[in-house]
């Protein structure tokens, strides 16, 4: 499907979700609770078949967090961006998509390491880049460290 | 440790069998970089592996949040340092997409030449190292001379060899010099002969084939599940190439083949890379032949240092010099994702800009970071010597893995 067709398809299929557009891809805003059902449907539906999670990352929009999934289909060559907004800054939790794409293993480890977002159902959530006893989560906007020198 | 790769303790007690634990790495001479794998071994067979990564994490994404756009190029050098011009140009293309800058055909063709040269040098190292790990040092020494020639071309283009910082946002800082063009042409004359000889050494070599065929194989389905990209995915039989699927930098002007493997094993990865080098040479030759006339940079003065004599004598260059150094550049508020086909696969840049001089958030999609997680699955059941060979054929670069 082309970008416009995909946008229309999403508007029809998910009437209660917000469909937007970024520079590259159609953008689907998903509620935190619906991540697994929506992504499973996107992966399995014969119209979309998003079988390839090519990027998963997070952005700290202080005070909210955004978790972003970039999906593509090797059958139809269309792309989609899915965005989930997490409002709980103290204890951000979201369902892991490890069951759908095993690539999420290290993606989610990295997000946990840098943002402190916990992934429910992830088999082995750990700090991969930093040491286990590291204080705070560096890519959060309110991260404080005495060693950061401002020029 | 994960259940899927590790035998449970109960069975090991019941069978009265002793498994040994072996630390492969962090600084093992055979792993070409800082990787640690804690292997569970039964004799010489690998039963499970646990990866530890992050030994050379340099917090690039954090540093990038405090740097102006044009200074981030030097961070991308240090990711996949075997093909740094590719990363540089990938980043420049991402910033151009953010700014909405159109480049002319000459810049695109110049970029294709540089990117394909980088791809050749990346694949040369990877393939010759597969040879070294299977016991054939000759090919490695033999093609390193050619890699040296490619580095001389980089030197002619930008002055640096390994961490190149090549090009600028919107094009290049200077045109190709006649010496650079002569050197590229000379290389294009030499390389086919050398590559043929290199292939004769390894490709139908009985020992090499026995060591690599059906070693570290992965099916197309599993590879897609693990988000493989680049030569490793194509060796598994999926025709996914960013240059074809999402053409950038006028790649759609050219005719080239995307080689596909069948089994996704070490030998297929070797062959896919070999064929890609031939295709890269074809692309470079085509781009050199058809290079149009034009300027070597697009109109984005905020990203070029103007000539120093103009800064001292004219108003406009002085303003743009000041603006650039102070970082007072207007960048639109946007979120973009741009990917290029790097040496190892899809090298993506996810840039979130909120209008300031620095990106609000920058995420590097590093291909080898993502497919490294399939490594335990690929080596379970094989021997250590095969595990080393699998790692070198996946071309895991420590700088790209840890970022």
CATH number at residue B142: 1.10.645.10
- Written as six digits, the tokens of A5 are 């067709």
Radius of gyration of chain A (CA): 16
Mean pLDDT of A5-25: 88
Q: Could you give the CA distance from residue A66 to residue A57 in angstroms, rounded to a whole number?
A: 8
Which among B129, B127, B126, B120 has a CA at the least distance from the CA of B147? Answer: B120
Searching chain A, which residue's CA lies closest to the CA of residue B239?
A74
CA dihedral B376, B34, B88, B322 (to 10 degrees): 140
Searching chain A, which residue's CA lies closest to the CA of residue B241?
A74
pLDDT > 70: percent of chain B: 96
Q: Is residue A43 part of a domain?
A: yes
The whole domain housing A37 covers 3-89
| Distance in angstroms between the alpha carbons of the first and the last residue of chain A | 49
Subunit contact B2:A123, Cβ cutoff 8 A: yes
Return the residue matching tokens 């840098």. A114
CA B139, B140, B144: angle at the middle one, nearest 5? 115
The pLDDT score that the predictor gives to residue B9 is 52
Closest approach of A136 to chain B, Cα-based (Å): 14
Q: Is residue B135 part of a domain?
A: yes
Q: Could you give the CA distance from residue B127 to residue A132 in angstroms, rounded to a whole number?
A: 36
What's the pLDDT band for B305 if we cut at 50, 70, 90? Answer: confident
B354-403, pLDDT tens digit by residue?
Answer: 888 889 999 999 998 998 989 999 999 999 889 989 999 998 888 898 88
- Domain count for chain B, please give it: 1
B385-396, pLDDT tens digit by residue?
Answer: 899 899 999 988
DSSP readout, chain A? --HHHHHHHHHHH-TTSEEEE-SSSEEEEE-GGGHHHHHHHHHH-TTT---EEEEEEEEEETTEEEEEEEEE-TTT--EEEEEEEE--SSS-EEE--TTT-TTHHHHHHHHHHHH--EEET-TT---SSS-TT--S-TTSTT---TT----
Q: Is residue A128 part of a domain?
A: no
> Given CB atoms, is A130 within the 8 Å cutoff of chain B?
yes
Q: In Å, what is the CA distance from B19 to each residue of B22, B46, B63?
A: 10, 10, 43
The pLDDT score that the predictor gives to residue B8 is 54
DSSP readout, B363-379? EEE-HHHHHGGGHHHHH
B interface with A, Cβ–Cβ < 8 A, is 2-3, 53-54, 57, 59, 61-62, 65, 97, 224-227, 229, 238, 240, 245, 334-339, 346, 348, 350, 352, 360-361, 363, 365, 369-370, 372-374, 402
The pLDDT score that the predictor gives to residue B10 is 55
The chain-wide mean pLDDT, for chain B, equals 88
Subunit contact A77:B245, Cβ cutoff 8 A: yes
- Written as six digits, the tokens of A142 are 């309110």
Is pTM beyond 0.90? Reply is yes
The pLDDT score that the predictor gives to residue A117 is 92
The whole domain housing B157 covers 102-298+379-394
Pick B346's closest partner by Cβ from A53, A54, A138. A54
Pick B62's closest partner by Cβ from A23, A53, A139. A139
Q: Could you give the CA distance from residue B69 to residue B95 in angstroms, rounded to a whole number?
A: 8
Candidates B60, B337, B357: best to mutate against A (most CBs of A within 10 A) is B337
What's the pLDDT band for B6 if we cut at 50, 70, 90? Answer: low
> Given CB atoms, is A25 within the 8 Å cutoff of chain B?
yes
The pLDDT score that the predictor gives to residue B287 is 93
B194-236, pLDDT tens digit by residue?
Answer: 999 999 999 999 999 999 999 888 999 999 999 999 999 999 9
**Res B191 pLDDT > 90:** yes
**Res B119 pLDDT > 90:** yes
Q: Is residue A29 part of a domain?
A: yes
B211 Cβ neighbours under 8 A, 6+ residues apart: B134, B135, B266, B386, B389
What's the pLDDT band for B112 if we cut at 50, 70, 90? Answer: very high
The pLDDT score that the predictor gives to residue B1 is 41
The domain that contains A59 carries what CATH number? Answer: 3.30.460.80
B9-43, pLDDT tens digit by residue?
Answer: 555 555 557 889 989 878 887 777 888 889 999 88
The pLDDT score that the predictor gives to residue B2 is 47
The chain-wide mean pLDDT, for chain A, equals 89
Pick A106's closest partner by Cβ from B348, B360, B369. B369
Q: Could you give the CA distance from residue B161 to residue B84 in angstroms, rounded to a whole number?
A: 9
- Cis peptide preceding B26, ω within 30 of 0: yes
Mean pLDDT of B242-248: 90
Inter-residue contact B247 to B339 (CB < 8 Å)? no
B159-168, pLDDT tens digit by residue?
Answer: 999 999 888 8
A81-91, pLDDT tens digit by residue?
Answer: 999 999 988 89
Show residues of chain A in contact with B335, CB under 8 Å. Answer: 22-23
- Domain count for chain A, please give it: 1
Show residues of chain B in contact with A107, CB under 8 Å. Answer: 370
Subunit contact B338:A24, Cβ cutoff 8 A: yes
């Amino acid at each position: 499907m082309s970008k416009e067709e995909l946008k229309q398809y999403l508007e029809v299929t998910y009437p209660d979700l917000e469909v937007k557009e970024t520079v590259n891809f159609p953008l689907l805003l998903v509620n935190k609770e619906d991540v697994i059902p929506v992504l499973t449907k996107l992966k399995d539906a014969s119209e979309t078949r998003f079988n390839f999670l090519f990027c998963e990352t997070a952005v700290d929009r202080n005070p909210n967090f955004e978790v972003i999934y970039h999906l593509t289909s090797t059958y139809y060559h269309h792309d989609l961006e899915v965005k989930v907004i997490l409002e709980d800054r103290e204890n951000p939790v979201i369902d892991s998509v490890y069951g759908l794409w095993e690539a999420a293993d290290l993606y989610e480890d990295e997000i946990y390491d840098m943002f402190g977002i916990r992934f429910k159902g992830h088999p082995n959530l750990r700090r991969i880049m930093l040491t286990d006893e590291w204080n705070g989560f560096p890519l959060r906007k309110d991260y404080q460290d005495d060693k950061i020198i401002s020029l | 440790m994960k259940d899927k790769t590790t035998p449970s303790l109960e069975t090991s007690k019941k069978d009265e069998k002793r498994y040994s634990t072996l630390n492969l790495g962090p600084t093992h001479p055979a792993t070409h970089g800082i990787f640690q794998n804690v292997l569970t071994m039964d004799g010489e067979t690998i039963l499970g592996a646990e990866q530890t990564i992050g030994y050379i994490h340099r917090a690039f994404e954090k540093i990038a949040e405090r740097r102006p756009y044009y200074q981030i190029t030097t961070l991308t050098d240090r990711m996949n340092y075997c093909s740094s011009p590719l990363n540089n140009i990938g980043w420049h293309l991402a910033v151009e997409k953010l700014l909405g800058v159109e480049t002319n055909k000459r810049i695109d063709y110049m970029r294709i030449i540089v990117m394909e040269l980088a791809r050749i040098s990346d694949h040369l190292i990877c393939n010759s190292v597969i040879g070294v790990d299977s016991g054939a040092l000759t090919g490695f020494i033999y093609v390193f001379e050619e890699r040296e020639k490619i580095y001389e071309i980089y030197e002619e283009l930008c002055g640096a060899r390994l961490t190149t910082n090549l090009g600028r946002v919107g094009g290049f800082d200077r045109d190709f010099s006649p010496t650079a063009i002569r050197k590229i042409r000379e290389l294009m004359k030499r390389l086919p002969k050398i590559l043929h000889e290199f292939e004769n050494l390894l490709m139908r070599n009985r020992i090499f084939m026995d060591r690599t065929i059906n070693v570290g194989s992965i099916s197309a389905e599993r590879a897609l599940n693990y988000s493989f990209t680049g030569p490793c995915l194509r060796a598994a039989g999926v025709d996914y190439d960013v240059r074809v699927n999402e053409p950038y930098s006028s790649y759609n002007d050219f005719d080239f083949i995307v080689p596909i493997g069948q089994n996704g094993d070490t030998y297929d990865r070797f062959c896919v890379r070999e064929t890609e080098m031939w295709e890269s040479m074809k692309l470079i030759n085509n781009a050199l032949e058809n290079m149009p006339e034009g300027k070597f940079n697009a109109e984005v003065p905020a990203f070029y240092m103007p000539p120093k004599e103009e800064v001292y004598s004219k108003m406009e260059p002085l303003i743009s010099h000041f603006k650039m150094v102070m970082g007072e550049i207007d960048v639109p508020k946007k979120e973009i994702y741009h990917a290029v086909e790097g040496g190892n696969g899809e090298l993506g840049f996810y840039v979130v800009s909120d209008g300031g001089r620095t990106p609000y958030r920058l995420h590097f999609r590093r291909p080898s970071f993502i497919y490294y997680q399939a490594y335990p699955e690929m080596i379970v059941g094989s021997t250590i010597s095969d595990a080393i060979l699998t790692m070198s054929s996946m071309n895991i670069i420590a700088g790209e893995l840890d970022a």
